[in-house]
Structure 1
Amino acid sequence: MRTPFNRSVTLIDTGGKVGFKRPKWQQGPKIYQASRLSINYLKSIGISKIDTICISHQDSDHCGDLPAFIKEMQIKRILIPMGMQENPNFIKRLAGKSPKTLLLPVNDESRIADLPLTVYHPYLPGKGENHDSEVLGGRLGGLNWLFTGDLDRSGELETLQRHPGLKTDVIKVGHHGSRTASDPSFISHICPQIALISAGRNNRYHHPNIETLETLRKAGVKILNTQQMGMVRYIYQNNTGHFESILECHKGKNR
């Protein structure tokens, strides 16, 4: 998320490969996808400094490439779910962090200056597992946005209990569209118009789940899925904007 002239740049999660145990002889040098993809893209649009990186939870597909950002970008602060600062597996990812980069554990009572987002979850300290995921919401470009990490259904409903007025226009669908998230009661309560689903093609987990897609369709939510659209971005000026697919843009140029 960036405001005009890059006055504020906020990144939610870094991406990264899911790690599977392999014998040492199969392990090569650590290669971060972010170096050639997201970091390369950010630099191409003039971003070399990030004000805030919000890490939703400990899973490697959400924060595995954090070391690459620490090495290649200037970072003012890193927000994590409260309690994850005690997780040794996560702390390893902070190796090389500049002393000037603040590490801030947060819960839903935290108020972070100059952050264009509100923290709605967690409310209890945890290890940074799925059910500890940060839930973040904010308003940009005339739309309300909600990001839920890999929060499970029970966590979604608990969030509503603590924040009963929570509504959104756009939801980044929890857990890549897994059936463990997107409880029908949660979706009907927050009333999204658009759902963003981030999931790789032919992924081994078969995300997004058919049940989740059906929940969204029954609620009349428009689905934007990276499997079909590639990278999706929202370009705005003042209080209006539009979504576009980078894949569709390239197709249009080649016609």
Structure 2
Amino acid sequence: MVDNFRKNFKYYFVVLLLISLIFVWYVVFWESRKGLEVWFLDVGQGDASFIQAANGNQVLIDGGPNRKILNELSKVMPFYDRTIDVVIESHPDSDHIAGLIDVLKNYKIKAVVESGAVSDSSGYLELERLIEDKGIKKFILNSGSKIDLGDGVYLDVLLPPSNVDTSKMSPHDAMLVLKLNYGNNSFLFTGDMEEKMESYLVFNGKDIKSDVLKVGHHGSKTSSSELFLSRVSPRYAIISVGKDNKYGHPYKEVLERLKRMNISVFRTDEMGRIDVISDGENLKIK
């Protein structure tokens, strides 16, 4: 047995060395990425976006409708990273939060951010129970709040308004709308926001101009008014939507409006996961 080990020692050594080199390369690859990276995850008919700053701080906005979020996270996070700094629930619709149940079961979450909107759905109640059972810090944020990721990356909370009781509002009126800022680049995350709250942002003078717009409500005809789009003035529009979904999202009228305004459209049902990289000045989409 000892003779066999000696005979095969070089082989075992080479294999171990190769494995070590591959692991080191893998770690260096993940840790050496610079700037801000935002992934619009392919979760089907739902919403989920993952943000990573250059310093490694991470935010997950929504988790889609099911366990598909776990596969998507495995593609944008290294296998050894099982911690997410902040999970944000834009509002309690199941196609935005049901997948977060599996996220909380499989990852360590440092903090959860909500708008204060509530639901009596089983998914929402289970998610709230998990947050409590795991002792995760929970914050209710509204307009004027800020989430600082460091290195010049931060999220401004634009909605819900600070002077309302969101627990008594429709989830689509009480949702978190966020603007991500890094240098001269910005992203607007609108959840399922509809025209009513789009108008609120416009007429209350909120700074909504952004390079990248996550199109509201999967491209529904109840969102993305011409007035709102003109104020945001995005270069790129991201539509998170399921292929051949029963709702007819995104609506033809919305697509035509975006085209007419010379806004480049990227869809998860056509492209899968969409990766946007920013150095604070320039954007690269792949």
Question: Is the aligned partner of 1:11 residue 2:51?
Answer: no
Q: Does residue 226 of structure 1 match 2:272?
A: no
Structure 1 residues 67-146: aligned runs within 5 Å: 67-84=101-118, 87-89=119-121, 90-97=124-131, 99-114=134-149, 116-123=154-161, 124-127=164-167, 129-140=171-182, 142-146=184-188
Q: For residues 165 and 65 of structure 1, do their structure 2 counterparts lie closer, same or farther at Cα, with a shift above 3 Å needed? A: closer
CA–CA distance in 1 between the matches of 2:77 and 2:264? Answer: 31
Deviations 1:33-91 (A, max 9, x none): 323x223324446542111111111111100111111111111111111343xx44323
The aligned amino acid for 1:103 is K
- Closer/same/farther in 2, CA of residues 237 and 167 from structure 1, 3 Å limit: closer
Which fold has the larger relative contact order, with Cα–Cα distance below 8 Å and residues 6 or more apart in sequence? 2
1:1-255 aligned at under 5 Å gives the runs 1-6=51-56, 8-17=57-66, 32-35=67-70, 37-44=71-78, 47-84=81-118, 87-89=119-121, 90-97=124-131, 99-114=134-149, 116-123=154-161, 124-127=164-167, 129-140=171-182, 142-237=184-279, 239-244=281-286
Superposition deviation, residue 131 in structure 1: 2.1
Deviation at 1:116, TM superposition (A): 1.9
* TM-score for both structures, normalised by structure 1: 0.81
Residue 176 of structure 1 aligns with an amino acid whose one-letter code is H
What per-residue deviation string (whole Å, max 9, x for no partner) do you get for residues 11-50 of structure 1?
1101115xxxxxxxxxxxxxx2323x22332444654211
The aligned amino acid for 1:66 is: L
Q: Secondary structure at the match of 1:116?
A: strand
Aligned residue identity for 1:220: N
SS of 1:130's equivalent in the other structure is coil
Partner residue in 1 for 2:23: none
Secondary structure of residue in 1 paired with 2:146? coil
Kept in 2: contact 1:175–1:181 (CA 8 A): yes
CA distance in 2, matches of 1:60, 1:112: 24
Which shows bigger deviation, 58-67 or 99-108? Answer: 99-108
- Aligned twin of 1:28: none
Q: 1:191 to 1:121 in 2, by over 3 A?
A: same
Q: TM-score, normalised by structure 2?
A: 0.73
Q: 1:171 is paired with a residue of what secondary structure?
A: strand
- Structure 2 CA distance for partners of 1:156 and 1:47, relative to 1, 3 Å: farther
- Using the TM superposition, give the Cα deviation of residue 120 of structure 1 relative to its aligned residue in structure 2, in angstroms: 0.3
Deviation at 1:122, TM superposition (A): 0.7
Identity over the aligned pairs, expressed in percent? 27
Using the alignment, how far apart are the partners of 2:280 and 2:188 within structure 1?
19
Q: How many residues are aligned here? A: 226
Structure 1: state its 5+ residue gaps: 18-31, 245-255
Specify every segment of 5 or more residues in structure 2 that has no aligned partner in the other structure, as ranges.
1-50
Look at both structures and tell me which one has the larger radius of gyration over its CA atoms: 2
Q: Per-residue deviation at 1:101?
A: 1.5
